[in-house]
Structure 1
């Protein structure tokens, strides 16, 4: 009986620590190519959040916990331009403002501010940053090519047609 309880306790502890381990490390926000912007999650339940662009350099730290597919962060300062635009309607749009508790939803190697992963103001696990950047550049190039072709097509259609005389 004692062995069963010890084994069960070990499985529970392993499960809890492995859930934490999968989110440990740096996650980069790459919405601005000219900025260095990341969150570093530590095993002791603390985080370090860093932002640097040109002469602006901000950082802060706090604590985090995980609940299912969410990370709860306490003492959060916001540095994401896209997220600041979203919350500007709530009167909180100041760069570096302390928002208090922030929730990130875990979507594989991404952390997002929306439960369904629909927002682009996300953070990407350090080892996946280059792959995500390359994919985003490819998608942007395809989008621009589509728009260019679409505009060309529309221009051809909207030109006045000459009347053919017989």
Structure 2
């Protein structure tokens, strides 16, 4: 493989040695700061041993940047300002029309919420600060899938 992007959950924090990964994109917060370092380490396995990592944070989670900087992680902070309405509509349509993608979206939603429930830095990544209805919409559902049970 010449180039690759790894979209990952916490499964990729340790033990994987996949050459050619140039980007790590993280949607859920790592359970502890050291796990972030292990996740982004997946990008250093290619021939050039250079890679990029992107971690999505909500505005109230920006304190995590200070935590990472204290661990000597070099960071560049980017802010997104824009309208994702068209993108959300495409996601909604894709999920609605495909049962397999619906199941993956349910699993991703559940894992995302669970990452907040068991996070070591609960003052930064608070399950109580999440608007679960908005998070649900972000994963393409109008309401939390019933089979997931109580999430908070």
> What TM-score results when the alignment is normalised by the length of structure 2?
0.23
Task: Give 1 or 2: higher helix fraction.
Answer: 2
Could you say which structure has the larger radius of gyration?
Answer: 1
Higher RCO (Cα < 8 Å, 6 or more apart): 2
Structure having the larger proportion of residues in strand: 1
